[in-house]
A and B are shown apart, each in its own frame.
Chain A
């Protein structure tokens, strides 16, 4: 762990501070101030991402540091989920933002790298961006699933969905993005490496995460009404597999493969 005494580091810490302060304000029931600080944190996060983009000269999705930096997308997802999907609330997302930015701020190497030939493709940005967006929705779905299992529902007013329905809606939004990410990756693999499926550990773990949600939909359709808690277990398993795909596969030496440049 190290503190980054750079402009990039300061922007990350400012974002984390804003998100954390927003979270605490919401807990203390200062909702307006909390939401305003959340928005402020989002603006700093966008500036941080844009700064990195300018600094490295390409879309900053190349390594784990940059990917975690892209989690500024959590704010619009948060607002979209609350206002359009009518599910979830902002405070877990604020905490999620802090947690996700922590490794970017203190752990991952921020050394800029030039893009290797394999990443010089128009598919680079869409493949990673779509995956990151889907991961955020699936993470939110996972949080709602935990609430459902813990017996906490968010139906204080009649318009907000119960946790299980909120999980379903978020998975419905995230799953097409997860599918698109997988397919774009496969198509790109064909262009770059000669095969649309190389049995790479990253590909297999990505397939596993996709299949968990396929199982979620099938189970929920047939047996979900009788066993809503098992629906939630599927969603939590899904986000767990996603975390393994994102972290363990990239960081562990037991999974060597073509995606290892992402470390």
Chain B
């Protein structure tokens, strides 16, 4: 029995060391190729062997069953591996075949404002598939932190990153003068009437954020310039500067409704960190129409195996805290009690 235990422990250590090296190698490959590697056939065999060795360890090392903390830790690992396998592309194929379902592992949805959509562009198969229900996008909007930044670069490479506070002025250099931020626009447009051009903030659809800035050179001459968020490093040939305007996004919000048989089942505003969960899928704010903000791109993932993984996490965490902290503290308290008792 001692030899068997030694063998299982040596195999365990070898598997741990192998996974360390594979993790490091995967880090150099990058996320996409690492995912392919860890979901490949040889990796699947590794996961299977690891699971079997974990189960074998539970039978050979009786302590792993007698000590609840150790049992939780090792069962937790088994659950995490099993849950991940169920949630993988291969796992979905297997469960779809076994149970006759058509669950989609993952994909993307593009939905225009006011439109309803039930098609998903799947990954990694790159196919178009349908959900059993639809998602309607009522509104997509982005929220920004107040202000933003005006980035100035002189022709000789000097740079300034200035907070875009309306009315504020900044001294740049003795040879360059100063700059003042006059106005901010959400949707910059030029109105031409009677040969006169005026810059206005267009309340209509569209998004063209801009700043109106005034440069004053060392001789006192003033010049107005417009800086556009969508056109960084914009400049006139006679200007001394390259100008950029950058706003910092504070949130992306998609107001969604789940529609089934022409009835609205549920509605939710989703943001990063606040996905929609419905029908066995999670819907995440992934991307958006950068030009005009008229559509949203949702990332869709199946929840197959997820709660098994979460259960595994809970077991693992509770078991490790129990074994490393609580057991040690109890042993110490017992020792102290014995010492004072004697």
- Min CB distance B55 to A, Å, is 16
A194 at the B interface (CB under 8 A): yes
Q: What does DSSP make chain A's interface, helix, strand, loop or mixed?
A: helix
Q: Is the CB of B34 within 8 A of A222?
A: no
- What residue in chain A is nearest B26 (Cβ atoms)? A204
**B251 proximity list for chain A (CB < 8 A):** 117, 120
**A199 proximity list for chain B (CB < 8 A):** 26, 31-32, 34-35, 38
A59 at the B interface (CB under 8 A): no
B121 at the A interface (CB under 8 A): no
- Min CB distance A116 to B, Å, is 7
Q: B-facing mask of A190-205, CB < 8 A → 1, else 0?
A: 1111111111110011
Bound: A255/B28 CA distance, A: 7
B1-48 with Cβ < 8 A to chain A:
5-6, 9, 12-13, 16-17, 19-20, 23-24, 26-28, 30-32, 34-35, 38
- Min CB distance B57 to A, Å, is 10
Interface size class of B (residues with CB under 8 A): 35 or more
Q: Is the CB of B317 within 8 A of A179?
A: yes
- What residue in chain B is nearest A221 (Cβ atoms)? B9
Q: Is the CB of B13 within 8 A of A218?
A: yes
B282 at the A interface (CB under 8 A): yes
- What residue in chain B is nearest A211 (Cβ atoms)? B20
Bound: A197/B252 CA distance, A: 23
- What residue in chain A is nearest B83 (Cβ atoms)? A196
Q: B-facing mask of A151-181, CB < 8 A → 1, else 0?
A: 0000000000000000001001101100110
- Min CB distance A206 to B, Å, is 9
Q: Is the CB of B282 within 8 A of A194?
A: yes
Q: Is the CB of A215 within 8 A of B20?
A: yes
The contact sample of 20 A-B pairs, CB cut-off 8 A, is A111-B161, A114-B145, A114-B250, A117-B249, A120-B250, A169-B328, A176-B324, A183-B317, A190-B306, A193-B284, A194-B284, A198-B35, A199-B38, A201-B27, A201-B28, A205-B24, A211-B16, A215-B20, A218-B16, A222-B5
Query: Which B residues are closer than 8 A to A by beta carbons?
Result: 5-6, 9, 12-13, 16-17, 19-20, 23-24, 26-28, 30-32, 34-35, 38, 84, 106, 145, 161, 248-252, 271-275, 282, 284, 286, 299, 301, 306, 309-310, 313, 316-317, 320-321, 324-325, 328
